[in-house]
Structure 1
Amino acid sequence: MQNPERALEPVDAHPAVAWWRRWWRRQTPGHQDRFAMLAPLAAVVLFLAAIVSAFWYLRLEEMDREQEAVKRDVEYAQQRVRLRLLERQEQIMRIARDIGNKEVDAEEFMGRAESLVVQYPELQALSWIDARRRLKASYATPSLPSAQIRVAGEVLRVGETESTFGLARDLQQPVYSQPGATGDAAGILQLHIPLAERARFSGVLLGEYSIDGLLRYGVPTDVSAKYAMTLLDAKGRILAGTAVPPRNPATQLLPWAAQPNEFEVPVSPVGNSLVLRGQAYRTGLGVIGSGLFWLVIALSAMTAWMLIGNWRHTRRRMQAQQALVAETNFRRAMENSMLTGMRALDLQGRITYVNAAFCQMTGWAESELVGRTPPFPYWPEDDREQLAARLDDELQGRTTSGGFQVRVKRKDGTLFDARLYVSPLIDAKSHQTGWMTSMTDITEPNRIREQLSASYERFTTVLEALDASVSVAPLGSEELLFANKLYRLWFGVQTGGHLQMVAQAGVPEHPRNDESLDDVDSLVGLPTGTLTAAQSENAEIFVPELGKWLEVRSRYLNWVDGRLAQMVIATDITPRRHAEELSAAQAERAQSASRLITMGEMASSVAHELNQPLTAINNYCNGLVSRIKGKQINEADLLAALDKTARQAQRAGQIIQRIRSFVKRSEPNRTLSDVNTMVTEAVELAGIELRRRNVRLSHYVAARIPKLMVDPILIEQVLVNLLKNAAESIEHAQRPVSRRSVELRVIPTQLDEQPVIEFSVLDTGSGLAPEVMERVYEAFFTTKVEGMGIGLNLCRTIVESHQGRMQAENIYNGAEIAGCRFSFWIPLSGASNSIANKDAGVIA
């Protein structure tokens, strides 16, 4: 079938014309009217732009021609001035040659100078200056000011033409210059021609030109009549002539207000120090040109104004039609884009309207539903009686504001849940013409609601079965939002237990019931997002009412109603605390047993150590008895012997007291302990064993080392155990006497950016094998024949109980193991840090 649009086109139409017609017919009437009104306006604007562009182009062409004329005339004037200067230069150079050949004396020079000055008005004066800058002869025009007239015999003043005089002498060529004077001398141009007598410099012939005369007589009359001619110096200052005054800046932006045409060229042979500039006098466009231009502008503006008025009138006329079309399209688009199904019934229950969403939900087309009466095709067979009763209630006006839920059958037979809302349909005359029903598919919300309900039941079941107490309470309120079964068993249904655990756990309490704060939000101003994202806080508390130890974990959370709440989870850790206390008691007994074992192993060494002072006491007493019986002792010797006996007894008592304090079982007592004292005590105890095994012991403690918050007996036990193990390792390795040494070092350092005190024991034994290194801290693991395997394990337990770390490493000399280093670090506590800072202040 032929397209009706193509049928209207002429057979011989051009393709571009045919395309234009098709495009025009596809436009709406509103767009066609808008284009029809904008096209003339655009044509007028384009015509005006073309007129302005043409006028501007012609003006630019005229300006280019004027600029070329100025350039040509200024260059012609420059040639005339140049020729005039060269002619005067040639004449003065003839006189200079005659003076150099001694053919002219001073009197004849005056005559020839006078003829030149009189013949050429621009030449103001001609002077003969010898090599000593003395004026031999000079002639000047009578019009020259008396201050510039030179007298024969005078010497040129210092600075006057001095540089040019020297330049002419050095170059032996004519040199032009302008004296740096002011007033009348500013308009003088000087020519220095060197004089040579037998190839020797004998002075200069100085010719002085009037720059104003040079401009007046050098520039052709026809050029000076057309242009404002001026002579400028190197800095652009006017030396002669007058310039065209500058234009008004306000008129510079007009298209016909062009800049004055001018051209500059240096005057040869003077050079850039004398520039000739010509400026064309300003000319206007004329009344006829400006009038035509403004006439075109006025006519174009009038035409545009009339077209705009006609277009605005057409727009107002079409507004009603466009508003009606837009409103209809909007309502139709809104109905088609709604996700809620809409159905309209008349007063007899017949379907009069359904939207696209209703058809999409049910699967029935609009033509299949409009005009149908009950029972409708989307009613399930099992629910028809119920739905008929509902429809009867609707028609009678018995509807509920909250709507009601029904099942709807799709065209393919599947069912879905829907909620219907019914309202009266009122026309423009306020008469009811039927009923409007909106339908929403709630199958997915029902499924989600069922899942949430099941999830809530599972969640509640899990929380109720937990072995931990869980409670949630809002901040600033006595309300208990949630409590599981164990919480209710322990504390009932009140918030007292929740608040008690929060207070005992040390969680920061926020002010409540404060009149100065907002009654709605007690945490006004606090960053609640940061609170809810923070990690939970843990604490262990004892509840006397329950007789239990509880581990309390708390964190902030946003409750379902948006309030900031605090959740507390409490776990019964009473059995664990009892086990920890039992483990601590066993560890304490293990420590005491370890010290007893250590002293048992050192028993022979201790007996040997005590034997020396006891033997000395016995010898002193026997000697005193013998000398007293023989009456061979005086009072001074008696006192000296008794003093030595007392010191030996004191030494034996100190050894016994140190051993008693080391092996004595006592409760852990952490105090600020002096490191030097602990090291001294440990060295003296272990020194007995090291001397028995013929091992040298050296120790170093850093100066001004801070005190540590430790149990000194336990730290001494670790040091003694490490020193004794070092001596046993050296003896097992059978090192020679020169290599039987143990070094103990105590220095402050940094570990993971935390200040610590490092204790290290370095021996020269055979080190630890790799398999031993992995199990060296295991309980009951030992490499000794008679060892129990609790020494290093106990040492590590003691160090870690002081929040420290312990490490063992072999020392290598090339590929050979040269010894082993056991190190442990004890962190500085707050009190230790303050003491260290105080010591640092004293040092400073």
Structure 2
Amino acid sequence: MPSRPSAKPLLSEPLTPSRWWRHWWRKQTPHRQDRFAMLAPLIAVLLFFAAIGSSFMYLRLEEIDREQEAVKRDVEYTQQQIRLRLLERQEQLMRIGRDISNEEVDAQEFVSRAESLVAQHPDLQSVSWIDERRRIKASYSAPSLPTPLVRVVDTLLRPGGDTESTFSLARDLQQPVYAQPAGKSEVVPLLQLHIPLADRGHFAGVLLAEYSNENLLRYGVPAEVLAKYAVALLNGNGRVLAGNAGPIHSVGTRLLPWSSQSEAYEIPVSPVGNGLVLRAQAYRTSQGVIGSGLFWLVGALSVLTAWMLIGNWRHTRRRLQAQQALVSETNFRRAMESSMLTGMRALDMQGRITYVNTAFCRMTGWSESALVGHTAPFVHWPEEDRAYLAARLEDELNGRTPPGGFQVRVKRRDGSVFDGRMYVAPLIDAVGKQTGWMTSMTDITEPNRIREQLSASYERFTKVLEALDASVSVAPINSHELLFANKLYRLWFGVQTEGHEKLVAQAGVPTIPPSDETMDDVDAFAGLPTDSLTDTQAESSEVFVPELGKWLEVRTRYLSWVDARLVQMVIATDITPRRRAEEQSAAQAERAQTSSRLITMGEMASSVAHELNQPLAAISNYCNGMVSRIKGNGIAEADLLAALDKTARQAQRAGQIIQRIQSFVKRSEPNRSPSDVEHMVSEAVELAGIELRRRNVRLSHYVAARLPRLQVDPILIEQVLVNLLRNAAEAIDLAQRPTAQRNIELRVIPKLMDEKAGIEFSVSDTGRGLAPEVQERLFEAFFSTKAEGMGIGLNLCRTIVESHLGRMQAENLYNGNEGTGCRFSFWLPLAQSSIAQIGPANTPPTPE
């Protein structure tokens, strides 16, 4: 049958793109059709090569990103392991430090505990107990410590060294300080931890622990990380402290160079900081995309594909495109599933496991074949939790799981159990139909352990504060919110801030004024130096609380609260028993001072009687003479008046002696008032002069001109001077000096001490001086070198001087190697109003 010509498209039919393409192709000549047929495969080949190049570049970039992410993830995980290891050691060392501060551990017990700690933890090399004067009280080092690491104490804490500066930093901060001291090239560098010790709130030294960087890297880095990376510990300057420092790593029989810097990652090790950096660099385990045989195989296949496209381009193009897309998608999804750390599990609508990824199998320890296709109860369910897990599975299949996931216990194949958190989402296929449920699981065993440790630490901290015998309260500045109050505070003041504010007000602690209305309401303290406030030392004062009937010692300081607010902490301690004891001590000291003056007058009784005998005898002689002459009418009126005037002066002299003695021994309350120095000296010289004349001792005294007044009790200062002058006379009498050498010198001059202006009183004698054993116990109570002495004179003198904020001392005088006497001196400070009045000390006249 003859073939019919092809029918032309009717004009009435719609012109679709396919119809238009066929119509255009048929209109072309055969030659042009051949050219287009050849051009199309070439264009397809070029596009295919471009697609292949882009794919390899994309795969290479994806490979680099995955390697970088893996390095970063493993390094951060390793840093957490080292950090937890350091924090665990730090907690154990801090417990030893608290026992030392509580005086529960002596040097022998410390060495025993340090030996046990070093034996348990190979990364810990040595533990030393150093007091506040930088002296090592006890120390223990690991027996395996190399000889270059055994350091001399003087070298360890020499001035200007790294360890000495870290010691000072720990003393100032009062918290643990890590340091990486710069050691010599032949000494293996160690990591040091300084833990400050406290003794009743004062710095009492440090607990120095030294870690081996090599052992810290060996035992702190997981084995799987060491197998994949070249791990090293660096200091802040980039120096390698421990780890692999070589530039190559062996793979099989070939030595391949390290990967590029893009596959390396470093991070500071907390809590050490920038002084210790963990660095890891991935080993090259392959030759890369371009260096692998796959690249050349694909290149060859591309050439073959180009030749096949020239011969049969339609069929080959479609097939290769479908195959390449399927391989690429499958490889990508498989790589993505294998590199995930989160376990993935898919269930169908009946609760049967249809899919698990590599991470899920690695977590549970079961293979994919042992999990896929099974229904509840699953093999990774613990027997004791199966009822609970069955209920959770029922909720999961019914879509009743919480968005935040839920926590379960999962059993591994070896029988161990770990905590996991599961998140559930519907599994939707390509056509939008739900075919099951997708579950993701993460291991939260370590976060749970850390949370439990933090909870236990907080409970211990709260118990300690609740058991304190001091009131502790914390409140924000210019706020009525009470952030914290311990048990004693609640017992005294309740749960309101009135007690806190009253203690701050009575203690006179300056507070930060509230902001004006024109200031920003969001931050009322904008621009204020809060850092300097929190770094200042705690202020202390003593106040009396009438509501409690107690004396309290109030200590305050500023803190930065957990929410970054500036707060004020107040610690109030009951010091009522101490204040009562101080009052009783002051009363006893006053009675002792009066008794001392009475004893002094008793010892001077014979001298006083002799001194009074002279004016009384003169009065008797004058009266008898006047009576005799009046009876004989042999006295003129002028002579009578002169005799009566002399009698009156002698009586006045006797009265002055008695009045001075009465004022000296009179018991009265201490009365500090502006007192003239020259008047006090003259009164003391007048009183002591009676005893000096009896012992045939000459006194020369010098008082500088224009001395300001002292804010003192003049009777007490006179008592000190009289006691010193009498002791000097007794020392000269005991030494049996000749008349020419029986001299006492009293000097009163202005003097600066510790950059404070004051006046110095000194009494020098020509006795034998003080023996060394006497000089050590000179100011002790009830110690005396006299057979009949009570041993309270010099002790009271020093108590009186120190109560006036002064100082007292004694020293021997020498002429070459020969002792020529003793010098007692005491210094009294000037009041601020009197400092400007004092002028330069006048030079005393040269004695004749």
Equivalent residue for 2:715? Answer: 713
Where 2:767 maps in the other structure, the secondary structure is: coil
What do residues 489-515 of structure 1 show as CA deviations (whole Å, max 9, x unaligned)? 222222212211111111113334853
Equivalent residue for 1:564? Answer: 566
Equivalent residue for 1:471? Answer: 473
Task: In structure 1, give the amino acid aligned to 2:404.
Answer: G
Partners of 1:331 and 1:656 lie apart in 2 by: 116
1:501 has 2:510 as partner: no
Per the TM alignment, residue 731 of structure 1 is displaced from its structure 2 partner at its CA by: 0.9
Equivalent residue for 2:302? Answer: none
What is the aligned counterpart of 1:664 among 663, 666, 671? 666
Partners of 2:55 and 2:732 lie apart in 1 by: 107
- C-alpha distance 454-715 of structure 1, shift in aligned 2 (>3 A): same
Partners of 2:538 and 2:826 lie apart in 1 by: 32
Partners of 1:352 and 1:569 lie apart in 2 by: 64
What is the aligned counterpart of 2:754 among 752, 755, 758? 752
Per the TM alignment, residue 418 of structure 1 is displaced from its structure 2 partner at its CA by: 1.8
Partners of 1:771 and 1:342 lie apart in 2 by: 86
What do residues 351-384 of structure 1 show as CA deviations (whole Å, max 9, x unaligned)? 5665665454334466765666544443223223
What is the aligned counterpart of 1:765 among 759, 764, 767? 767
Question: What stretches of structure 1 of length at least 5 have no aligned partner?
Answer: 1-27, 35-322
Where 1:836 maps in the other structure, the secondary structure is: coil
What do residues 90-149 of structure 1 show as CA deviations (whole Å, max 9, x unaligned)? xxxxxxxxxxxxxxxxxxxxxxxxxxxxxxxxxxxxxxxxxxxxxxxxxxxxxxxxxxxx
What is the aligned counterpart of 2:413 among 381, 405, 411? 411
- C-alpha distance 590-363 of structure 1, shift in aligned 2 (>3 A): same
Is the CA contact 1:702–1:747 (under 8 Å) kept in the aligned structure 2?
Answer: yes
What is the aligned counterpart of 2:828 among 799, 821, 826? 826
Partners of 1:329 and 1:836 lie apart in 2 by: 96
Is the CA contact 2:707–2:839 (under 8 Å) kept in the aligned structure 1?
Answer: no
1:600 has 2:570 as partner: no
Partners of 1:430 and 1:672 lie apart in 2 by: 101
- C-alpha distance 661-392 of structure 1, shift in aligned 2 (>3 A): same
Q: How does 1:61-100 map to 2 (within 5 A)?
A: none
- C-alpha distance 530-598 of structure 1, shift in aligned 2 (>3 A): same
Partners of 1:342 and 1:705 lie apart in 2 by: 93
Equivalent residue for 2:483? Answer: 481
Per the TM alignment, residue 839 of structure 1 is displaced from its structure 2 partner at its CA by: 12
Partners of 1:766 and 1:663 lie apart in 2 by: 31
- C-alpha distance 435-631 of structure 1, shift in aligned 2 (>3 A): farther
Is the CA contact 1:476–1:513 (under 8 Å) kept in the aligned structure 2?
Answer: no
Equivalent residue for 1:490? Answer: 492
- C-alpha distance 336-539 of structure 1, shift in aligned 2 (>3 A): farther
Task: In structure 2, give the amino acid aligned to 1:616.
Answer: A
1:799 has 2:810 as partner: no
Partners of 1:781 and 1:599 lie apart in 2 by: 20
Q: Which moved more, 1:596-605 or 1:442-451?
A: 442-451
1:742 has 2:710 as partner: no
- C-alpha distance 419-660 of structure 1, shift in aligned 2 (>3 A): same
Q: Which moved more, 1:352-361 or 1:660-669?
A: 352-361
Is the CA contact 1:765–1:819 (under 8 Å) kept in the aligned structure 2?
Answer: yes
Per the TM alignment, residue 529 of structure 1 is displaced from its structure 2 partner at its CA by: 2.8
Q: Percent identity?
A: 77
Equivalent residue for 2:727? Answer: 725
- C-alpha distance 520-325 of structure 1, shift in aligned 2 (>3 A): farther
What do residues 287-322 of structure 1 show as CA deviations (whole Å, max 9, x unaligned)? xxxxxxxxxxxxxxxxxxxxxxxxxxxxxxxxxxxx
Q: How many residues align?
A: 526
Partners of 2:361 and 2:811 lie apart in 1 by: 82
Equivalent residue for 1:817? Answer: 819
Partners of 1:483 and 1:499 lie apart in 2 by: 13
Where 2:838 maps in the other structure, the secondary structure is: helix
Q: How does 1:343-354 map to 2 (within 5 A)?
A: 343-345=345-347, 347=349, 349=351, 351=353
- C-alpha distance 595-514 of structure 1, shift in aligned 2 (>3 A): same
- C-alpha distance 746-326 of structure 1, shift in aligned 2 (>3 A): farther
Per the TM alignment, residue 621 of structure 1 is displaced from its structure 2 partner at its CA by: 3.1
Q: How does 1:526-675 map to 2 (within 5 A)?
A: 526-675=528-677
Is the CA contact 1:343–1:438 (under 8 Å) kept in the aligned structure 2?
Answer: yes
Is the CA contact 1:707–1:835 (under 8 Å) kept in the aligned structure 2?
Answer: no
Max Rg structure: 1
Partners of 1:475 and 1:336 lie apart in 2 by: 55
Where 1:525 maps in the other structure, the secondary structure is: coil
Question: What stretches of structure 2 of length at least 5 have no aligned partner?
Answer: 1-51, 59-324, 843-848
What do residues 443-482 of structure 1 show as CA deviations (whole Å, max 9, x unaligned)? 2333333334344444444433333222222222212222
Q: Which moved more, 1:695-704 or 1:795-804?
A: 695-704
- C-alpha distance 735-337 of structure 1, shift in aligned 2 (>3 A): farther
Task: In structure 1, give the amino acid aligned to 2:741.
Answer: R
Equivalent residue for 2:251? Answer: none
Q: How does 1:27-42 map to 2 (within 5 A)?
A: 29=53
What is the aligned counterpart of 2:695 among 693, 702, 714? 693
Equivalent residue for 1:253? Answer: none
Per the TM alignment, residue 667 of structure 1 is displaced from its structure 2 partner at its CA by: 0.5
Per the TM alignment, residue 717 of structure 1 is displaced from its structure 2 partner at its CA by: 0.8
Task: In structure 1, give the amino acid aligned to 2:564.
Answer: G
Per the TM alignment, residue 714 of structure 1 is displaced from its structure 2 partner at its CA by: 0.9
Is the CA contact 2:678–2:703 (under 8 Å) kept in the aligned structure 1?
Answer: yes
Is the CA contact 1:475–1:522 (under 8 Å) kept in the aligned structure 2?
Answer: no
Q: How does 1:4-19 map to 2 (within 5 A)?
A: none
Is the CA contact 1:808–1:822 (under 8 Å) kept in the aligned structure 2?
Answer: yes
